């Protein structure tokens, strides 16, 4: 027997049951193959967006906290006059436990330096920068910060420069 003939031989209730089962089967396939993956992707995108907004809020708080502070602290005579930024950065990053994260260190004349930190703890980096600013009169000229794979860790490109006291 052909399928249409088989279907026509069914009673009216049986035909209705077969049609409902077929409609339910089509809905289940559409759900599993199209709608469920789309909804899961949307949930994941919302989660990632929330995480990125948290990182941005942290960066904005740090920028507000350290960006407009006046330079206070030691006189230029209190620090070694001959210590270059390269030596200062090397010494202070090691002391702060960040030396292993410093991947690039390029001087820019006598008053500037470009640095790249990878997978560095964000809080430790901010503390180190605050110490440089207050104790050594070295401030951030420019910075780009990218979130790392692990929460609380970042990849940072910095340009530092000596500031007037």
pLDDT per residue as tens digits for the range 57-83: 888 888 777 765 544 444 444 444 457
Q: What is the pLDDT of residue 164?
A: 67
Residue whose token pair is 């030691």? 74
- How many CB atoms neighbour CB 124 within 10 A? 17
Rounded CA-CA distance 56/78 in Å is 36
Q: What is the pLDDT of residue 77?
A: 41
Q: What is the pLDDT of residue 108?
A: 86
Rounded CA-CA distance 136/113 in Å is 14
Q: What is the pLDDT of residue 78?
A: 46
Look up the pTM and report it.
0.51
Low-confidence ranges of the chain (pLDDT < 70): 1-3, 67-82, 164-165
Q: What is the pLDDT of residue 8?
A: 85
DSSP letter string over 31-83?
A: IIIIIHHHHHHHHHHHHHHHHHHHHHHHHHHHHHHHTTPPP-S--GGGS-TT-
The per-residue pLDDT for range 99-110, each reduced to its tens digit, is: 899 999 998 877
Q: What is the pLDDT of residue 111?
A: 80
Residues 6 or more apart whose Cβ sits within 8 Å of residue 84: 107, 110
Q: What is the pLDDT of residue 67?
A: 61
Rounded CA-CA distance 54/6 in Å is 62
Q: Structure tokens of 160?
A: 């530092």
């Amino acid at each position: 027997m052909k399928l249409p003939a088989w279907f026509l031989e069914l009673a009216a209730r049986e035909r209705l049951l077969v049609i409902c089962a077929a409609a339910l089967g089509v809905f289940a396939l559409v759900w599993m193959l199209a709608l469920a993956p789309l909804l899961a992707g949307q949930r994941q995108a919302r989660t990632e967006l929330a995480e990125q907004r948290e990182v941005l809020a942290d960066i904005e708080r740090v920028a507000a906290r350290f960006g407009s502070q006046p330079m206070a602290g030691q006189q230029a005579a209190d620090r070694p006059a001959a210590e270059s930024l390269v030596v200062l950065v090397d010494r202070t990053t090691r002391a702060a436990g960040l030396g292993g994260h410093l991947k690039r260190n390029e001087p820019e004349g006598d008053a500037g330096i470009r640095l790249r930190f990878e997978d560095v703890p964000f809080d430790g980096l901010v503390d180190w920068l605050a110490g440089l600013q207050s104790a050594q009169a070295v401030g951030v000229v420019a910075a780009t910060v990218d979130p790392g794979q692990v929460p609380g860790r970042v990849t940072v490109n910095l340009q530092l420069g000596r500031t007037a006291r």
